[in-house]
Amino acid sequence: MRVALVHDWLTGMRGGERCLEALCELYPDADLFTLLHVPGSVTPVIERRRIVTSFIQSLPGAATRYRTYLPLFPAAVATFDLSRYDLVLSLSHAVAKSVRVPPRATHICYCFTPMRYVWDLYDDYFGARAAWPVRWLMPPVAAALRRWDRATAARVHHFVAISRFIEDRIRRAYDRSSDVIYPPVDVARFRVAETPGDFYLVVSALTPYKRVDLAIDAAERRGRRLIVAGTGPEMPRLRQRAGRATEFVGWRSDAEVAGLYERCRAILFPSLEDFGIVPLEAMASGKPVIAFGQGGALETVVPPGGEEPPTGILFAEQSVDALAGAIETFERSADLFEPKALRRHAERFDRPLFKERMAAYVTAQLEARRPC
């Protein structure tokens, strides 16, 4: 059986690339198709296979400014020739799910979200902070992309959503049902720390919708030390906003991030996320999470007061007041969070389980499509 993996782009190791890496291990001989590949930006498990890119690869500045070519993405993904393949596994938050597959092939899409740039997060990317030409040009372009995105959902035989939150979004955007398989957390990468650290931690790309500004302001208000690990276009604005209690450490390796989890007091997670790997990585390290109580966090963070051991505190609105209040609540109830119980909760999402679930799902769908 010939297998093709399709991923939107390869520019760094984030949650989506962790999922791709696991599928690369499941299908070690699969070819990989992607709009853009920055060599060395992903792990050797991904890098060492045959990688086919689109014409986006050769456009000026594509390695860092590839999102500016968004209107060209539909044409780029249409260039991939998948006629030789029997199974196509796309991992998509933009256009990967829209590849054309031959009639005999089975196309399963592991969907991180319908194209976020033109659906739920349009204002974050093209709203008030965007340059005026972008704000003027994007509405008709976004409308056309939404029509195309919805129409090409028919090219997928089976959708797998990363969370119930995304299952609902797929239903609203595409009028399609989906199954849910949660993304993997490599629990073995993390060590359980039995004692609390002296700082709060944010691990995040520094983009507007991540709302790192709320974490900075809330920590400053409470007079707490905060470390921010990550890079992105919001870095200059956030540095201007921060006081002396906030430290920016930039990009860090996997081992360094694991060390930060181990030494922190708790994770601040103020964004509305499709799923969110960071809270589970923190739990794998025995550390609780203070998270915005919508989206994927509702499926991973267990608040106090239920039958299960708690793994974090949820706050109800994306505001400094709400997050600062949640920090205060956490500090009053910190003894409720038992590091080994946090680790056990993270193990429900462990990488080997993800691979088992995906392999079983793919096998079942292939057998269902096999002629009698």
In tens, the pLDDT along 58-105 reads: 999 999 888 889 889 999 999 999 999 999 999 999 999 999 999 999
CB distance 248 to 242 below 8 Å: yes
Give me the pLDDT at residue 136, please: 60
Shared domain check, 160 and 11: yes
Residue listed under structure tokens 């991923």: 7
Q: Are 160 and 230 within one domain?
A: no
Examine the domain organization and report whether 214 and 153 are in the same domain. no
Measured between alpha carbons, how far is 367 from 269 in angstroms, rounded to an integer? 41
162 and 291 in a single domain? The answer is no
Note whether 138 and 254 are same-domain residues.
Answer: no
C-beta of residue 56 within 8 angstroms of C-beta of residue 62: yes
User: Can you name the residues that pair with 201 across neighbouring β-strands?
Assistant: 227, 267
Q: How many domains does the chain have?
A: 2
Same domain, 101 and 49: yes
- Are 202 and 169 members of one domain? no
In this structure, the answer to whether residues 143 and 191 fall within a common structural domain is no
Strand order in the sheet with 158-161: 51-53, 31-34, 3-7, 87-92, 106-111, 158-161, 179-180
- My answer on whether 140 and 180 are in the same domain is yes
The C-alpha atoms of residue 62 and residue 58 are separated, in whole angstroms, by: 7
- Eight-class DSSP state of 340: H
Question: Residue 103 belongs to a domain with what CATH number?
Answer: 3.40.50.2000
Considering the entire predicted model, what is its pTM? 0.90
Intervals of the chain under pLDDT 70:
119, 121-138, 371-372
Beta strands in the chain (DSSP E): 3-7, 31-34, 51-53, 87-92, 106-111, 158-161, 179-180, 200-203, 226-229, 246-250, 266-269, 289-292, 312-315
- CA 201, CA 228: separation in Å to the nearest integer? 6
Helix axes 132-152, 164-174, angle to 10 degrees: 90
Q: Residue 180: what are its φ and ψ, rounded to 5°?
A: -115, 125
Q: Are residues 198 and 214 in the same domain?
A: yes
Does residue 267 sit in the same domain as residue 337? yes
The reported pLDDT for the residue numbered 236 is 95
Query: Based on the domain organization, do 80 and 154 belong to the same domain?
Result: yes
Strand order in the sheet with 289-292: 246-250, 226-229, 200-203, 266-269, 289-292, 312-315
Q: Per-residue DSSP letters for 211-228?
A: -HHHHHHHHHHHT--EEE
217/233 Cα distance (integer angstroms) = 19
Query: Which residue range(s) make up the domain with 54?
Result: 3-184+350-369
